[in-house]
């Protein structure tokens, strides 16, 4: 039962995440996501086949990246940064909304447990996507914060070695888990602790 709830929560989180990228791009002047059918809350438009399969098998998955054309933006670097931030930000906002729902409505134990699991999924997805490694959102955020000439050098290196680094982080065993968990969990647990205090005060 918990596995089903986890998968449903992750599908919701991924859908909101990708939709938020699309909405931000659309509002900033790029019609590409709308023309590609990505400006929707229909999960089928955002789920990647392999990412969905991994979601079922390994409880780890991803959505289809939202196509954008930065040249449609008024300020390409700034607006691409905002679009990249929109996905993780939406998951943190969703986690906060679930937290407030627990605090304001004091739901029954089972409902509160489901909401807590949804909170965990959204916080983890947000922090994971902020890693500065392609194809994650953090790579675009990182590159657009750098001066253009330095960003070009880093983009070449990240494009070449980023996927390999991501595989190492996910699959390399470390301290009973993996390198990815050792990096993310301290941040995730800190945020979850703050949200738990808000929910239970």
The upper half-sphere exposure of residue 129, i.e. CA atoms within 13 Å in the direction of its Cβ, equals: 26
pTM of the model: 0.93
- What integer pLDDT is reported at residue 59 of this predicted model? 61
pLDDT at 176: 67
- How many whole angstroms separate alpha carbon 90 and alpha carbon 96? 10
The pLDDT of residue 119? 97
Separation between Cα atoms, residue 92 and residue 146, nearest integer Å:
25
Active-site residue flag, 18? yes
The pLDDT profile of the chain, 201 residues, written as one tens digit per residue, is: 788 888 899 999 999 999 999 999 999 999 999 999 999 999 999 988 877 777 676 666 678 899 999 999 999 999 999 999 999 999 999 999 999 999 999 999 999 999 999 999 999 999 999 999 988 999 999 999 999 999 999 999 999 998 889 888 888 877 667 788 888 999 999 999 999 999 987
Per-residue confidence (pLDDT) for residue 163, from 0 to 100: 84
* Chain position carrying tokens 């590159």: 143
Give yes or no for a contact between 68 and 32, defined as CB atoms under 8 angstroms apart. Answer: yes
Q: Which of 18, 80, 155, 156 is catalytic?
A: 18
> How many distinct structural domains can be found in the chain?
1
Instruction: Identify the pLDDT of residue 61.
Output: 66
User: Domain span at residue 65?
Assistant: 2-200
């Amino acid at each position: 039962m918990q596995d089903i709830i986890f998968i449903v929560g992750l599908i919701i989180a991924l859908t909101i995440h990708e939709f938020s990228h699309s909405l931000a791009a659309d509002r900033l002047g790029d019609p590409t996501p709308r023309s590609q059918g990505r400006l929707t809350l229909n999960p089928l438009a955002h789920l990647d086949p392999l990412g969905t399969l991994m979601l079922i098998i390994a409880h780890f998955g991803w959505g289809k990246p939202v196509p954008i054309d930065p040249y449609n933006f008024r300020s390409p670097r700034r607006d691409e940064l905002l679009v990249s931030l929109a996905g993780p930000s939406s998951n943190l906002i969703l986690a906060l909304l679930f937290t407030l729902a627990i605090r304001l409505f004091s739901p029954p134990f089972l409902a509160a447990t489901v909401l807590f699991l949804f909170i965990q999924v959204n916080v983890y997805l947000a922090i994971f996507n902020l890693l500065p490694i392609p194809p994650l959102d953090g790579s675009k955020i990182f590159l657009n914060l750098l001066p253009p000439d330095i960003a070009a050098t880093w983009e070449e290196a990240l494009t070449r070695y980023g996927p390999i680094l991501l595989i190492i982080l996910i699959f390399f065993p470390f301290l009973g888990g993996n390198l990815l968990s050792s990096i993310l969990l301290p941040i995730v647990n800190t945020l979850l602790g703050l949200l738990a205090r808000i929910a239970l005060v």
